[in-house]
Amino acid sequence: QIHSDSDEGDGAIKYTISGEGAGTIFLIDELTGDIHAMERLDREQKTFYTLRAQARDRATNRLLEPESEFIIKVQDINDSEPRFLHGPYIGSVAELSPTGTSVMQVMASDADDPTYGSSARLVYSVLDGEHHFTVDPKTGVIRTAVPDLDRESQERYEVVIQATDMAGQLGGLSGSTTVTIVVTDVNDNPPRFPQKMYQFSIQESAPIGTAVGRVKAEDSDVGENTDMTYHLKEDSGSGGHVFKVTTDSDTQEAIIVVQKRLDFESQPVHTVVLEALNKFVDPRFADLGTFRDQAIVRVAVTDVDEPPEFRPPSGLLEVQEDAQVGSLVGVVTARDPDAANRPVRYAIDRDSDLDQIFDIDADTGAIVTGKGLDRETAGWHNITVLAMEADNHAQLSRASLRIRILDVNDNPPELATPYEAAVCEDAKPGQLIQTISVVDRDEPQGGHRFYFRLVSEAPSNPHFSLLDIQADNTAAVHTQHVGFNRQEQDVFFLPIVVVDSGPPTLSSTGTLTIRVCGCDSSGAVQSCNTTAFVMAASLSPGALIALLVCVLILVVLVLLILTLRRHHKSHLSPDEDEDMRDNVIKYNDEGGGEQDTEAYDMSALRSLYDFGGELKG
């Protein structure tokens, strides 16, 4: 109930509420302020509601005092049974575990309020399976009740666990779940090889990683207790370092694999000792003996006719690009690894040398140049050399050779581009015109160094100078005197000689084209041809001033004539005024001659005359 201090019981006050559930879940008696719940409340869904109460004048509906906020808290009752939320439960325990061994923990949940009464206080008990397992009534931890659980007699148990609220008191609600407990195996049986010796054979040409054979030790246990690892003992025999062993995780077999190249000629038979042992050993059963076993493995290597072997299998050769045809590049060597040691013949795989740039001596393996070389065209050549038995070309080996062509200075330097530059007519001495750079197809080991100079007999030399900038292998072209006149000469051709550092030193001559241009006051190029020069001259500042003076003179003359006309008209009679249009006004104007019909507008003069007549009237 809500109540206002100003309520005198005469019904003048109306009570209202707003907020969560107002008007639906909760209703208020407007007269008394009693609040009623209209629906069933569930604390597990919502524990409290926040509402606001108002006291209003019944006649005007005006608030008589500020509204107040209040909370309705839902009080819990024991209406929710315990539930096991994380099922199905599956646990395991090793066989022969001692009494009291923890198997797993189960926990139930009760939606009732744990802070109010005992509605959410749970206790656990075993309904089925109590002969083999117990449960802690408070924690739900399941433990073994006997010490002799035997996987071989029973591997699985179904245990029913019950949770009861109200601390297990009479009238409490309960829930149950079934727990599956699997008895796991322990490793109480060592691995055993079915036989003490195994024999295999393999060709000497078998690549590294080839499987020689498989061997499996047996184990009467199950699960992870049958997992085994295998080892080849380090001191087990003559071939312990040639093979390695891996374990197939699916079949638990030992896979004997070639680890190094086999050679029938040096060792035809290898003997190793293979050892099997369990991965997981239970120390409780150590008194049963060592959990490992051994067997002898003998591997016979069969002879195979092998191809020649390159020594080394690949390499790098170098040759100067100016080497003469037939010059020696290098020598490759291969031998027959078989006991017969047959002669070896050499050839070049022409798919790797389509242009037949190199040749090889079939008997000695000497590689020579077959054609002229050019590093700038091809700086590297990758060729494949073949080695084969002289009487059996099917026994063939390949070796990759990289041949680097060493540079010689056989290309002259050249200007990087056909340079064109512009110079202003009013250029000052020492002004930079153009920076010149060079390209050279050669690549000397010490890097490029270029030298620049002008052709001494060139006619452009008195006008320009060349500065060799050694820091970055460029040159700068500057003016040598003040001013250029493009009406006299609008373009200069400046020959520039570029020389490299050799050896031997090579040079070339390039031409810098320099055009004489008209520029503005800031030095920006405006025009670089003589036609534009004539057009620009007609619009020079002097011409503009002369044109302006002519206009001013013309304006002064017009004003003077107007003044004279007005003065003369003031002395005329009315009759004479009618004949005014027949009078001739003489004036002089500096114009363009007989063809100039636009120098003066007669209608303008007449308008001025009429304007003067109106003033007089």
> Cα separations (Å) of 249 from 216, 229, 294?
12, 9, 19
Q: Is the bond into 574 cis (omega within 30 degrees of 0)?
A: no
Distance CA 308, CA 396 (A): 7
What's the average model confidence in pLDDT over 468-491?
90
Please report the pLDDT score of residue 540 as a whole number.
53
By mean pLDDT, which of 140-154, 438-452, 558-572 is the weakest?
558-572
SS3 content of the chain, % helix, strand, coil (to 5): 15, 40, 50
The pLDDT, as a whole number, for residue 238 is 55
When pLDDT is averaged across residues 303-330 and rounded to a whole number, the result is 90
What are 496-551's pLDDT values in tens digits?
Answer: 999 998 889 999 999 999 999 999 888 888 888 754 443 444 445 565 677 787 88
Distances (CA, A) of 18 to 47, 64, 67, 80, 552: 18, 16, 10, 31, 93
| 163 and 127 Cβ atoms separated by less than 8 Å | no
Instruction: Evaluate if residue 243 carries a pLDDT over 70.
Output: yes
Higher pLDDT, 111 or 304: 304
Q: What is the pLDDT of residues 420-472, one digit of tens each?
A: 999 999 999 999 999 999 999 988 877 888 999 998 887 777 889 999 988 88
- Residue 236 burial by Cβ neighbours in a 10 Å radius (0-12, 13-18, 19+): middle
Q: What pLDDT sits at residue 452?
A: 94
Residue 341 binned pLDDT confidence (cut-offs 50, 70, 90)? confident
Identify the top-confidence range among 44-58, 196-210, 218-232, 280-294: 196-210
Q: Which domains are assigned to the chain? A: 13-73 (2.60.40.60), 89-184 (2.60.40.60), 197-302 (2.60.40.60), 309-406 (2.60.40.60), 414-537 (2.60.40.60), 549-616 (no CATH)
- Give the model confidence (pLDDT) of 280-291 as tens digits: 887 877 776 778
Percent of the chain predicted with pLDDT > 70: 88
- Mean of all residue pLDDT scores within the chain: 84
Query: Nearest-CA neighbor of 144 among 106, 94, 108, 187?
Result: 94
CB 572 within 8 A of CB 580: yes
Q: What is the pLDDT of residue 310?
A: 92
- Identify the helix (H) or strand (E) that includes residue 605: helix 602-616
Confidence band of 616 (pLDDT split at 50, 70, 90): very low
Q: In the structure, what pLDDT confidence band is assigned to residue 608 with cuts at 50, 70 and 90?
A: very low
Q: pLDDT tier at 223 (50, 70, 90 boundaries)?
A: confident
DSSP 172-187: --EEEEEEEEEEEP--
- Fill in the amino acid letter for 204: E
Task: For residues 432 and 319, give the distance between their C-alpha atoms in angstroms, rounded to a whole number.
Answer: 45
What pLDDT sits at residue 534?
A: 39
- In this predicted structure, what is the pLDDT of residue 611? 39
What pLDDT, in 10s, does the model give residues 361-388? 999 999 999 999 999 899 999 999 999 9
Per-residue confidence (pLDDT) for residue 612, from 0 to 100: 42
- What one-character DSSP code corresponds to residue 438? E
Cβ pair 138, 117 in contact under 8 A: no
Contact yes or no for 407/443 (Cβ under 8 A):
yes
Residue 565 has pLDDT above 90, yes or no: no
pLDDT for the residue 462: 86
234: tokens are: 């380090």
pLDDT at residue number 190: 87
